Amino acid sequence: MSLSISCDVAIAGGGPGGATLAALLAKCGMSVAVFDRDEFPRDKLCGEFLSYDALPVLDLIGLGPALDEVGATRIRTCRLIGPTFNYSFELPREARGISRLRLDEMLLRRAAALGASVHEGWTVDTVTRTAAGFALHVRDGSREAHHVTAKLVVGAWGRWGRIDRQLERPFTRDTARRHFGFKRHYRVLPEGQVPADHTIDLYSFARGYLGVNAVEGDTVNICGLVHASRLDGHRGGWETFVDNLSGEGEHFARLFGAHEPAQEHFLSSEPVIFAARSPVVSGILMVGDAAGLIDPLAGNGMAMAIQSALVAATLVVRRPELDADAIASEYETAYRDLFLDRIRWSRRVAWILSRPWLVDRAARILRAPSIGSLLLARTRATDAQVAELVGSFERARDR
Ligand SMILES: Cc1cc2nc3c(=O)[nH]c(=O)nc-3n(C[C@H](O)[C@H](O)[C@H](O)COP(=O)(O)OP(=O)(O)OC[C@H]3O[C@@H](n4cnc5c(N)ncnc54)[C@H](O)[C@@H]3O)c2cc1C
């Protein structure tokens, strides 16, 4: 049966950005509906390193203790590993290793528990602006069509969605900055020693890199990103690519020799395109990857999704009349101030990391801890920024 759903805020996408926003708005008593084409739990291409600057926002929606309950690992050290180097530096705060299978489900269930209306297996097909707000056409898992009206729409559909094409966002036509990612869960073989569960390892190789860290359940996630040009002429799937990497240096041979796959296949997905994108399009606020892509190397994409949800929630709650244009204009400014510099820095650091000879030279000149501070400080929120974001939300909620 076709339904008509009406809400204050409709969120297209229930990943970390959409689910956090739904939870925050529901916590403030707003009528919010979130739609995700997938049913949860579901796996996701990701390094599964949850940066420390996301954790205070998860505390705000009561998810802090749940990370311990599921056994999210505690990550305190980062190692940069290449053919001729192995440098390590400490993180200023403890980060967490948690699979997307668990984290995304926890977030979405939390949003539902706080009062958000959660629709899993529902795909948003179109969003249009109307005199009263927005209209969405949505299809459920059995392809039944439903009509949704909302005063405000938030795009949280990740880095590449069908609506991006409909909105004619320029990045969908960019072919020069395309990268492809892959990931697989592994178990450490009895004789293997890498990585310790408190470490994230970043392996540098030409035109790409790998991130390796432990997540809950004695599992190690190995996740990589390569420039599309590195795949020119490549035959075979990711298995072959990884086999070839093992032949590129002792460090890769040691890594893959110490692990056995815990999942049948590699997971990959749509291209990762590092062209600039706008956080507001046709009055739709974008959060997370839909608003802007930080290079995965920085391990801050989920934190940015969660923080951009917090920024959006604060501005929405401050304007109970839900004036979409006023909120969009404030959000655009706040987004640029908080995130654009991070995105730029992540690309610079990734450019260096995908050139092993340059990492080695830079580390010899700068020394490893300086490279570490550069990587960390410029690509994530400071403690003061996070405290300010949390404080602003609490003040808006308590008004
Ligand atoms: C190779 C790689 C490694 C990474 N490693 C890390 C890392 O270690 N740490 C980190 O913090 N970040 C990492 N990232 C980035 C991180 O994965 C993203 O930044 C994060 O997932 C963004 O969250 P999001 O909620 O914006 O989008 P997503 O997590 O992509 O969620 C979007 C949701 O929208 C749904 N959706 C899409 N279209 C529709 C539609 N039309 N209707 C309904 N639902 C829809 C999808 O099903 C999905 O659930 C990595 C990214 C890549 C590519």
For the segment 18-76, what is each residue's pLDDT rounded down to a tens digit? 999 999 999 999 999 999 999 999 999 999 999 999 999 999 999 999 999 999 999 99
CA of 288 to the centre of ligand 1 (A): 8
User: Residue range 340-345: average pLDDT?
Assistant: 93
Atom of ligand 1 nearest to the CA of 287: 26
Would you say 187 and 49 are in contact if contact means Cβ atoms under 8 Å apart?
A: no
Domain ranges of the chain: 4-44+99-174+273-352+381-398
Q: Report whether residue 105 contacts ligand 1, using a CB cutoff of 6 Å.
A: no
Is residue 84 pLDDT above 90, yes or no? no
pLDDT score for 367:
63
Average pLDDT value for the chain: 92
The full DSSP string for 332-354 is HHHHHHHHHHHHHHHHHHHHHHT
Q: Report whether residue 45 contacts ligand 1, using a CB cutoff of 6 Å.
A: yes
For domain 4-44+99-174+273-352+381-398, the CATH superfamily is FAD/NAD(P)-binding domain (3.50.50.60)
Q: Report whether residue 153 contacts ligand 1, using a CB cutoff of 6 Å.
A: no
User: Residue range 83-112: average pLDDT?
Assistant: 94
CA of 100 to the centre of ligand 1 (A): 9
State CA 334 to chain mean position distance: 19
CA of 44 to the centre of ligand 1 (A): 7
For the segment 207-230, what is each residue's pLDDT rounded down to a tens digit? 889 999 999 999 999 999 999 988
Atom of ligand 1 nearest to the CA of 122: 43
**Percent of the chain having pLDDT more than 70?**
97
For the segment 127-166, what is each residue's pLDDT rounded down to a tens digit? 999 999 999 999 999 999 999 999 999 999 999 888 999 9
Confidence category of residue 362, pLDDT binned at 50, 70, 90: confident
Is residue 373 pLDDT above 80, yes or no? no
Angle between helices 301-318 and 383-398 (to 10 degrees): 30
Closest C-alpha among 59, 53, 47 to residue 304 = 53
Atom of ligand 1 nearest to the CA of 272: 53
**Percent of the chain having pLDDT more than 90?**
73
- Please tell me which residue, 176 or 199, carries the higher pLDDT value: 199
Atom of ligand 1 nearest to the CA of 19: 25
CA of 321 to the centre of ligand 1 (A): 30
Atom of ligand 1 nearest to the CA of 211: 8
CA of 15 to the centre of ligand 1 (A): 6
